[in-house]
Amino acid sequence: MNSPPAAAEGQEDPQPPSKTKRKRAMVELQELGEELVALPADRLRQVELAEDLRLAVDQARGMARQDNARRRQMQYIGRLMRTVDPQPIRAALAAARGDSADETAMLHRTERLRSELLADEKLLFTIASRSPSVDLQQLRSLRRAALAEQAQGKPPRNYRALFRLLRDIEQKTATADREEDDERQ
């Protein structure tokens, strides 16, 4: 009787994953697609996706939640997800959820920067030197409006707008720093 050759020591026979494992992986990819569909539009634009996947996600966003067409669209997104590397998408979703340590640290830096800016207007020039494209006039007017809101006990609309602007500046600065580092290497 001929028996199959034994595998070399330390090596296993390369067997494909079981049907259960493949199905579990497909369900995970579909769930990842559902998270993409649930993202706010501004966060979704920040995630790098293949064109066909982006189109499918945009179409699913416009469908009713309990619709069979949406369920089929989600299955289609799951199929498309099998052709892309899910790791960058997972990282972007983690950042959107605030699970990313880098994202959390950036938010804490932004909060600290906002507090320091409200306490000292001279910090505007430091921000401008770090990020020359920043609109100092807008930053100054948001600072003044936020201080006025605090003094009058009004809802913190401008306080939040100041945070959003500072967060955008931090993100652009971090992106520019990463690009410079990549060019040096």
Q: Output the pLDDT for position 111.
A: 92
- Is residue 66 within 8 Å of 89, Cβ to Cβ? no
Q: 154 lies in a domain?
A: yes
- 180 and 106 in a common domain: yes
- Is residue 18 within 8 Å of 72, Cβ to Cβ? no
Q: 2 lies in a domain?
A: no
| DSSP-derived secondary structure for 127-150 | HHHH-TTS-HHHHHHHHHHHHHHH
Apex CA 138: angle with CA 134 and CA 143, to 5°? Answer: 110
Which has the closest alpha carbon to 113: 89, 87, 142? 142
How far is the C-alpha of 139 from the C-alpha of 127, rounded, in Å? 10
Measured in residues, the chain has a length of: 185
CATH number for the domain harbouring residue 172: 1.10.60.30
Residues 6+ apart with CB under 8 A from 154: 148
Could you tell me the mean pLDDT of each successive run of 10 residues in the chain, 185 residues long?
50 76 86 87 83 91 84 90 86 73 81 91 87 88 93 91 90 77 72
Q: 8 lies in a domain?
A: no
Number of domains observed in the structure of the chain:
2
Q: 14 lies in a domain?
A: no
Q: 126 lies in a domain?
A: yes
Q: Please say which residue of 97, 129, 163 terminates a domain.
A: 97
| Per-residue tokens: 126 | 């430091």
- 180 and 105 in a common domain: yes
Q: 170 lies in a domain?
A: yes
Q: 7 lies in a domain?
A: no
Read off the pLDDT of residues 103-139 as tens digits, 9 standing for 90 and up. 778 888 899 999 999 999 889 888 888 888 888 899 9
- 90 and 138 in a common domain: no
**Which residue segment(s) compose the domain that 64 sits in?**
19-97
- 92 and 123 in a common domain: no
- 113 and 70 in a common domain: no
Q: Please say which residue of 97, 114, 140 terminates a domain.
A: 97
CATH number for the domain harbouring residue 68: 1.10.60
Read off the pLDDT of residues 10-25 as tens digits, 9 standing for 90 and up. 556 578 888 898 888 8
Which has the closest alpha carbon to 159: 124, 115, 105? 115
Which has the closest alpha carbon to 119: 152, 161, 162? 162
For residue 119, what is the DSSP state?
A: H
